Amino acid sequence: VHIANGMYGMILVEPPEGLKKVDREYYLMQGDFYTVGKYREKGNQPFDMQKAIDEKATYVLFNGSEGSLTGDKALRAKVGETIRLFIGNGGPNLVSSFHMIGEVFDRVYTEGGTHPARERSDDSDSLGRRGMGRAALGGAGDVPHWS
C-alpha cells in the first residue's frame, strides 16, 4: 500500500568517473494512485484496494502531481542539444510507455544498466516500463518544435 500512496523514488548512482556531459538532464517518475474519492475530489483521499485490484487508477501522474510536465513546467530543449532522461515507474500496477513525440532515442539503458539495451539501441521511440521499472535515455533533439 505504501507504494500505491506515492512512497517511492529514484536514486542515481553514478560511476566513479561520472557520466558524460550533456546539455540538459531530467528525472521523471510515473506513479498510479487509487483513491476512494473521485477524480479531483478535495480533501484526504484514502487508498482504495478494489480500484488497485481492478487496476483502475484514479490518477496516473509524473513527479507526483497533475500537470507537472505541462505548460510552464514542460521540459524544454533546443534543436541539437544532447538530453539525458532518467525515467522511472513506481507503479504499483500500470505500465509506462514513455515516448517523446517526433523523436527517436539514440541510446536506451534499462534497469540501471551501463550499456545500451541491444533491442532498443538505435531506433527506440517508446519505452515500456512495468511498475518499479527504470531506464536512462539519451539523444540529441533534431525536431524543430523542441526549441
Which pLDDT tens digit goes with each residue over 59-98? 999 998 999 999 999 988 888 888 888 888 888 888 888 7
- Residues 6 or more apart whose CB falls under 8 angstroms from that of 72 comprise none
Q: Is 26 exposed, middle or buried (0-12, 13-18, 19+ CB in 10 A)?
A: middle
Asked if 139 contacts 15 with a C-beta cutoff of 8 angstroms, the reply is: no
Q: Return d(Cα 99, Cα 79) in angstroms, integer.
A: 17
CB 77 within 8 A of CB 25: no
- The DSSP call for residue 43 is S
Local structure of residue 51 (DSSP, 8 states) = H
Which domains does the chain possess? 3-146 (2.60.40.420)
- pLDDT of the residue at 19: 86
pLDDT, residue 63, reads: 92
Whether residue 147 is predicted with pLDDT greater than 60 in this model: the reply is no
Give the confidence band of 136 by pLDDT, cuts at 50, 70, 90.
Answer: low
Q: What Rg do the C-alpha atoms of the chain give, in angstroms?
A: 17
Q: What would the pLDDT profile of 22-54 be if each residue is shown by its tens digit?
A: 899 999 999 999 999 999 999 999 999 999 999
Q: Which of 76, 79, 77, 83 is nearest to 22 (CA)?
A: 83
